[in-house]
């Protein structure tokens, strides 16, 4: 489990901006704080770029339609709708833990996924 120590009380937009620039200065991915290859011409890491690309391509109608079908199909089979990995019948979340983490990293840059409530 990865514990991000500075995520407490650091979710204000101003703080987030600080984190963003701090990461940028250190040559880290400003979005998730992960390492970016030195040879990479991009500021963000491969993971975040791929995630963002997927995220953006969902905006096209045709792609969206196909994706929705695939999403439903995967969901029915207890697969992660994003990457197709098996999530397990007892999983409280739709996405697999990896995609869930990406999602949260993407949304906030700092937040960790909330633990699912037990019934
Ligand atoms: Zn990243
Ligand atoms: Zn997944």
Total residue count of the chain as it appears in this document? 119
SS3 content of the chain, % helix, strand, coil (to 5): 45, 5, 50
Q: What is the mean pLDDT of the chain?
A: 81
pLDDT at 21: 94
pLDDT at 103: 86
Ordered by start, the domain boundaries in the chain are 7-43, 58-109
Asked whether the predicted pLDDT for residue 31 surpasses 60, the reply is: yes
Asked whether the predicted pLDDT for residue 20 surpasses 90, the reply is: yes
Burial class (CB in 10 A: 0-12, 13-18, 19+), 104: middle
pLDDT digits (tens, 9 = 90+) for 86-104: 988 888 888 898 999 888 8
Output the CA 96–ligand 2 centroid distance in Å. Answer: 4
The tokens describing 62, both together, are 């045709």
Higher pLDDT, 106 or 80: 80
Ligand that lies nearest to the alpha carbon of residue 45, given by its number in the listed order = 1
Ligand that lies nearest to the alpha carbon of residue 98, given by its number in the listed order = 2
Ligand that lies nearest to the alpha carbon of residue 78, given by its number in the listed order = 2
pLDDT at 110: 57
Output the CA 74–ligand 1 centroid distance in Å. Answer: 26
Taking phi over 0 as left and psi of -120 to 50 as alpha, with beta for the rest, 117 belongs to beta
CA–CA separation, 95 and 75 (whole Å): 9
CA–CA separation, 50 and 91 (whole Å): 25
Contact 119, 112 (CB under 8 A): no
Higher pLDDT, 72 or 60: 72
In the chain, what's the furthest Cα-to-Cα distance? 48
Q: What pTM does this model have?
A: 0.39
Higher pLDDT, 2 or 25: 25
């Amino acid at each position: 489990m990865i514990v991000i120590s500075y995520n407490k009380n650091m979710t204000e937009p101003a703080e987030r901006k600080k984190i963003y620039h701090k990461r940028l200065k250190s040559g880290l991915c400003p979005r998730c704080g992960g390492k970016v290859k030195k040879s990479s011409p991009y500021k963000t890491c491969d993971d975040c770029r791929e995630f963002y690309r997927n995220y953006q391509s969902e905006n096209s109608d045709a792609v969206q339609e196909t994706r929705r079908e695939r999403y439903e199909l995967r969901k029915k089979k207890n697969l992660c709708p994003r990457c197709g990995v098996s999530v397990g019948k007892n999983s409280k979340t739709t996405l697999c833990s990896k995609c869930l983490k990406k999602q949260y990293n993407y949304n906030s840059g700092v937040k960790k996924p909330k633990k699912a409530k037990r019934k």
